[in-house]
Amino acid sequence: MFKKIGAWVMSAALVFTAGCQPLGGLDMNQAIENEWKTDTYEASLSMGLQYDVGDTNALSEFDKEGLALWNGFQLNVSSLKVNRKEQTMSAKGSLSAAKLNLPFAVSLDKNGAVLNVEGANKPIVIADWRTNELTGLSHELTMYDDYWFYRLKRLMKELHWADQQEVTKKAIGLLSKNLPNATSFAVDKKTETIQGQTVSGHELRFDVSEKEFASLFRSMFKNVALDNQGLRELAVVIYDKFHPELKELGFAEELFQDRQLGTESVYTGAKAIALYLTSEAGRAWEQEMLSQTKLKMDAFVDESKHIRRWNAEIAVQSPAGMEDEIRGGKFTVRMDRWNINGDVKPDIISTKDAIPYEDLSNEDNLRQAVQPDSAFYKLLKEQLRITEKYLYFYIWPESDLDGASGAEAGGTEAYLAYDYTAYISSNNTAYVQGRELGEGLGYKVVWDAGTKTMTIASSQTEIVLKAGSATARVNGTDKSMGEPAAMKHGALYVPVRFVAEQLGAKVKTEGEESVYSIEIYKP
């Protein structure tokens, strides 16, 4: 699970900015090669994000909320321990976001991530930290794309990390060989104190402006496009390592059955990309991406050619016409490293009594796992809105539902068909299946078939609904719903506006003379 992501990021950053031509006695190619061979280290790390804010009145509410969350973001890690051989990592420090300070500890191993945060009563497990909701990468699969998703997922499992590493190293080597140094690139001999230890080595510095950024990229891709030998060597590695998987995906299958044709296909594709990035269209892309960006960086490399300190500052100006809202921003990062390739044992957090992160989207679970008066609770509830619920139903005439078969209507013995989850009665009242409404809003739903009674409950609210009755018992008090709950095809349908509002949700209907759809939102 835990791959050499840090090695790739650090190597790529140095390649794309400093270049890799020897200067001042420092060979950055050797430093990057050593980075790939680094299996363990300890470090301290700090990262910060700061916006230059103008008049935000024109921003949407969503953008304002994002600005409030990220402006002033600061991550300080006092102890970072990485063991790439064992695929483990741990970190201790504090996170500041939305004017809240959160001391934390986190660990990663092959099973996932475990997090301890001040204010949480138990550890929080992120079962798959790469696609969890916390990263914003997860998505609901449709019948159209799940076939390719699962094939790609199986492909990624089959790819060996050693093969990925070899291809990545070859690609970075190709880029570094063809990238000239920045004009501001300078190297000096220097002595630094890192974690109380005096270390001798070289310091490299550079300050790349917007125009030079684009110029460096154009020069690099032009050189790559003309480097036929380098491109062919990369194509051979890609084919040899990945051609069975490329065939499995169905990508130009007939070409990848033959090594010569397959290698030529990869070579042609890579060359076409490099040529595009040197064309007018490519230069326009580079200008759009880089014309507002500046980078300052210094790194310290010891005598053994290991990167021991890394400081970077990326400043971005807003495009023309948006300066009045957010004029720009600055991202800073600093890392000091020691005990490289030493005996490093990350502090793995026990998962005993832990709770999955996704379970915190339930209000009751959140209150039990996190102290309501803590900064962590405020971050999850008010900033990340982890308990926020949004439901959307198409609504059909009651006669359509009455005429549908049990399977079509989503009866208790059949697979749920969302088309018939909701309907509008002859009295113009919108109905939704009680179970879908209650569970969709994060409540526990219990059905008593004997009394035909449904209970929708949380620690704060309890609603009891009975088939055929227009009266609901809300926290022990009888209240009129206006229309009775109704049994249809083995499911209890309830007046949606009354029940949703009792559960703290807001209801919005759309349509002209009749209701076509209904939206339900619970903050």
User: How much is the pLDDT for 254?
Assistant: 64
User: How much is the pLDDT for 402?
Assistant: 76
Helices (H), 80-209: 146-158, 161-177
By residue count, the chain amounts to 523
User: Burial of 489 by CB count in 10 Å (0-12 exposed, 13-18 middle, 19+ buried)?
Assistant: buried
CA distances from 48 to 6, 72, 73, 293 (A): 18, 7, 6, 17
* Angle made by CA atoms 341, 346, 352, in degrees to the nearest 5: 160
**CA–CA dist 169, 267 (Å, integer):** 17
User: How much is the pLDDT for 321?
Assistant: 60
In this structure, what token pair is assigned to residue 88? 């483990």
Domain(s) of CATH 3.30.457.10: residues in the chain: 389-406+415-522
What single-letter amino acid sits at 333?
A: V
User: How much is the pLDDT for 121?
Assistant: 95
CA distances from 439 to 353, 387, 388, 402, 498 (A): 24, 13, 13, 24, 16
Taking the CA atoms of residue 199, residue 337, residue 186 and residue 31 in that order, the dihedral angle to the nearest 10 degrees is 100
* Phi, psi angle pair for 485, to nearest 5°: -65, 145
User: How much is the pLDDT for 174?
Assistant: 80
pLDDT by residue for the chain (523 residues), tens only, comes to 333 444 444 544 554 444 444 555 666 677 777 887 889 999 999 999 998 888 778 788 878 888 888 889 999 999 999 998 888 999 999 999 888 999 999 999 877 899 999 999 999 998 643 333 333 333 333 333 344 444 444 444 444 445 566 777 788 778 777 776 666 678 888 999 999 999 999 888 888 776 676 777 778 888 999 999 999 999 898 888 776 665 555 555 666 677 888 888 889 988 998 888 888 766 665 566 566 778 888 889 999 989 999 899 988 877 666 556 778 889 999 999 999 999 999 999 999 889 998 889 888 999 999 999 999 999 999 888 899 999 988 888 888 877 765 545 444 433 334 456 888 888 889 999 999 999 999 999 999 999 999 999 998 899 999 999 999 999 999 999 999 999 998 899 999 999 999 999 999 877 655 567 888 999 8
Rounded to a whole number of angstroms, the distance between the first and last alpha carbons of the chain is 34
**CA–CA dist 232, 235 (Å, integer):** 5
CATH of domain 389-406+415-522: 3.30.457.10
**Exposure string for 12-23, b = 16+ CB within 10 A, e = fewer:** bbbbbbbbbeeb
In this structure, what token pair is assigned to residue 427? 């009295």
Beta strand extents in 387-429 (DSSP E only): 389-394, 396-397, 422-424
Q: To which residue do tokens 């219990």 refer?
A: 446
Closest Cα partner for 3 from 119, 141, 130? 130
- Bridge partners of 481, per DSSP, are none
The Cβ of residue 201 has, within 10 Å, a number of other Cβ atoms equal to 23
